[in-house]
Amino acid sequence: MISKWKTYMIVLIGFLAITAGFYVNPVAKLEAVPTEEETPIIEKINQAPIQPIIKREGNVVSIEMTAQVTDVEISEGIMYNAWTFNGTVPGPVLHVKEGDIIHFTLKNMDPNLAHSMDFHAVHAAPSKKFVDIMPLEEGTFEYPADNPGVFMYHCGSAPVLAHIANGMYGMIIVEPKNGYPTDAEIDREYTIVQSEWYAENDMDAFMNEEPEYVVFNGNDYTLKDHPLLAKVGDKVRLYVNNVGPNEVSSFHVVGTLFDRVYIDGNPKNTLYGIQTVLLPASGGAVVELTVAEEGDYPIVTHQFNHATKGAVGILRVTSDGLDNGEATMGH
């Protein structure tokens, strides 16, 4: 009987020792592993467009721009939550002169992602002057604009494809120091940026799929609903840039030829009597044409699968250079 009580006492003492151990050294609490459903989702934001601030003092041009997320209309009734410069796609057209110094500030208003600026118009070390600006921060850089032409600018943050395909691009024109030889002959000038839209913020689509829209100046309707205007006999200059990110442009104006073409906008790169200008992704040109008769002149990429997806505009020529209000020609 005594041995049984001894056994019970030993078991009880052992149990109490173990229980005390739990209080003195509790088992570490295991953290719950978040499931895919619990992964935080970044809510879409829509920041109102902001005008760039541009000031000139002598040959120093100060440019202040924003990186921001803004809804843009890419086709009638079709909105895209775009990554932008200053809330528009393309971003603002920038004008400087050969020999200027660009004093550039980028304010990153995007609370979620780093952005940057890559100017094709300048010579600069990308690892020093095209660097990422963190969310809600800003950076300032200086570059000389020594080469005349029409150039692309874009966000250069990785992955670059995502930033360009989501809308972060625009045109910068560096006017030649001595102008173009035909400056005195030009009656009207316009800017056209060709680009592509894919499934929204879909990296797989950016890499592997065909664009859903190919457009001029950000959407597939503005240059048809509001045609560029000229009057009979005008010489028209177009500053053209194909920003891609993936496709080439076969730039063509139906019903005329280009009297002169300055490849990349450099007056040293002059061609004459050209029907179609091939622009690689990021390639630019200044094209000049004379309109001899009244009517609508479609502006297209002659890769007509892309024209059918939206890359069509209209140059309307009338006797007085004003819009006659008629429905524009389809193409």
Q: Both 148 and 196 in a single domain?
A: no
Q: Both 299 and 187 in a single domain?
A: yes
Does residue 158 lie within any of the structural domains?
yes
Does residue 9 lie within any of the structural domains?
no
User: If you search the block for the tokens 């295991």, which residue do you land on?
Assistant: 30
| Of 175, 206, 225, the domain-final residue | 175
Does residue 124 lie within any of the structural domains?
yes
Element (H, E) at 207: helix 203-208
Q: Both 204 and 165 in a single domain?
A: no
Q: Both 132 and 242 in a single domain?
A: no
Query: With 0-12 CB in 10 A as exposed, 13-18 as middle and 19+ as buried, what is 133?
Result: buried
Does residue 250 lie within any of the structural domains?
yes
- DSSP annotation of 34: P
CA 299 – CA 313 distance, rounded (Å): 5
Does residue 29 lie within any of the structural domains?
no
pLDDT along the chain (331 residues), means of 10: 47 46 42 49 90 98 98 98 98 98 98 98 97 98 98 98 98 98 98 98 98 98 97 98 98 98 98 98 98 98 98 98 92 82
What local confidence, expressed as pLDDT, does residue 331 receive?
Answer: 82
CB atoms within 10 A of CB 57: 9
The 3-state DSSP composition of the chain as helix, strand, coil percent (nearest 5) reads 15, 40, 40
**Helix, strand or coil, per DSSP, at residue 5:** helix
Q: Both 165 and 197 in a single domain?
A: no
The pTM (predicted TM-score) of the whole model is: 0.87
What local confidence, expressed as pLDDT, does residue 172 receive?
Answer: 98
CA 240 – CA 285 distance, rounded (Å): 5
Q: Both 202 and 169 in a single domain?
A: no
| Of 143, 158, 175, the domain-final residue | 175
Which two tokens mark 167? Answer: 């809308």
Query: Alpha-carbon Rg of the chain, whole angstroms?
Result: 30
CA 176 – CA 171 distance, rounded (Å): 16
CA-CA-CA-CA torsion sign (6, 11, 15, 21): positive
Q: Both 215 and 280 in a single domain?
A: yes
| Of 128, 151, 175, the domain-final residue | 175
Q: Both 159 and 61 in a single domain?
A: yes
Segments forming the whole domain that contains residue 224? 183-318
Q: Could you tell me the CATH number of the domain that includes residue 191?
A: 2.60.40.420
Q: Both 202 and 298 in a single domain?
A: yes
Whether cis (ω within 30° of 0) applies to the bond prior to 159 is yes
Q: Both 257 and 241 in a single domain?
A: yes
Q: Both 134 and 208 in a single domain?
A: no
- Residue pair 311/300 in contact by the 8 Å Cβ criterion: yes
Does residue 257 lie within any of the structural domains?
yes
Q: Both 79 and 141 in a single domain?
A: yes
What local confidence, expressed as pLDDT, does residue 41 receive?
Answer: 67
Does residue 57 lie within any of the structural domains?
yes
What local confidence, expressed as pLDDT, does residue 17 receive?
Answer: 45
Does residue 308 lie within any of the structural domains?
yes
CA 269 – CA 278 distance, rounded (Å): 14
Number of structural domains found in the chain: 2
